Amino acid sequence: MVPKHISCGEPMSRRILIVDDVATNRIVMKVRLRNAHYQVLQASDGRTALELARTERPDLILLDMCLPDIEGTDLCRRLKAGRETASIPLIVVTAGRAPETKMRALEAGADEFLSKPLDEMILLARVRSLLRARETAEELALRNGTHQVLGFAEAAPNFAPPGLVALIASDPRRARAWRAALVPLISDSLTVLSRAEALNPQPGAAQPDAYVIDADLTAEGAGLRMVSELRAHPGSRDAAILIVVPEAARETAAMALDLGANDLIADPMDAQELALRIKMQIRRKTQSDRLRATLEDGLRLAVTDPLTGLFNRRYALPHVARVAERAAETGRSFALMILDIDRFKLVNDHYGHASGDAVLVEVARRLKENLRAVDLIARIGGEEFMVALPETDAERACGTAERLRRAIERRPVALPGGAGEIPVTISVGVAIGDGCAFVTGQVDLEAKVRELMEHADRALYGAKASGRNTVEMSRSAA
């Protein structure tokens, strides 16, 4: 049995592949990234990088342009063309500073271009930003894959309508100059807005898909504050935000990325580079919007529990299979929990079914509040819930289970109609799926998932037998 005061660990560290033919460069980069708590893989040539990217599935690649066997931009194109590697963010790192070199890298699929010697603050801020974006994309893709298994996902339309880009500068004349330079380069609609107009749109007005914002606007740091404000508004929360930053303003650039900006453009800017970055950001937003629409439109009734709003068993089982498939591809473990409300039948018997429903709703709310966006929580039975935690080892799974248990135990649940409060607890069974043990064959994969559920279920019975309100870890792993 797990002690009741285990703290929840940090998420498993992300893996970054460094591709550079100079050993000293790789060592320096490795030290910087290891100090920032990233795992590091290394390759000294393009062919090794391609093999590692396909087999190890790193979360991000730092790529030097000058390699002994494959030219850097060609390697970018090959990585973006591969099914297993297309979604991995790429940062091109090179000694060259020529604008045409940067454009070639961006056109080949690089997400960012950084010149040596590297500024560690900018590098790590850009890494954090790209990894956050990748996590969001992974979450949406994972859920969309589950919907495809269920037969609900619709094919994405081939046509993407033009986007709307808002240009916001300290001086309207500056924003109009941006627009004049961009008009011949992009097909998206361009509009010049003030800060107030962007933050307080007219009712019914179209929301921009992307914002290009001067970092300072009318006061120092006002552009950065606007990033946070746009992220707080429902209408602009998912928009792409590009910040125009003076080339030497390294702290401003790093802060913009950490506040939620999707991309940076150095000032004085190159109009072609800005146009390319806008196109790339709008394309990504369009893909994300389509996935979100698939999740939201017409699926809720089919795959959610009407009482708690959580996913139901119909959704949960194929989703766990998708998590297991991802674990098989990456070789990383994941956790599966079965949770049960202790003595729930007594609640219904003593207080009535309306009170039982209130307990279920409140327990579901607290559980969801204490999980990551990428985690799955589902109601799979009367008082039984399932939680799946991608990329989670045993220690972190135990910490998360303890956090959930404490969240339920911490305070009683209010009954409807002012009928008082009752204490509620849960018991939790935890099982760990070893990614290396899962196979990609569908039949074997589903059998492994069922086996893992049985391990978690047996652990739950052990928690109940130990006195309830406890966490029990399965000693077996699928």
346 CB-near residues (< 8 Å, 6+ apart): none
3-state secondary structure of 255: helix
Contact 385, 414 (CB under 8 A): no
What are the Cα distances from residue 187, in Å, to 55, 213, 244, 367, 420?
38, 19, 21, 45, 61
Render 136-188 in DSSP notation, one character per residue.
HHHHHHHHHHHHHHHT-PPPPPS-----EEEEE-SSHHHHHHHHHHHTTT--S
User: Could you say which of 325, 362, 383, 472 is catalytic?
Assistant: 383
Cα separations in angstroms, 314 against 24, 306, 327, 379, 470: 52, 13, 21, 10, 27
> In angstroms, what CA-CA distances link 423 with 370, 414, 426?
19, 9, 11
* Rg value, the chain, Cα: 25
Tell the burial category of 147 from Cβ atoms under 10 Å away from its Cβ (0-12, 13-18, 19+): buried
- Classify the C-alpha dihedral 211-212-213-215 as positive or negative: positive
Has 383 been annotated as catalytic? yes
Q: Is the backbone of residue 107 left (phi > 0), alpha (psi -120 to 50) or beta?
A: alpha
**47 touches 69 (CB < 8 A):** yes
What DSSP designation does 466 have?
T
d(CA 401, CA 414): 23
| Active-site amino acid positions | 383
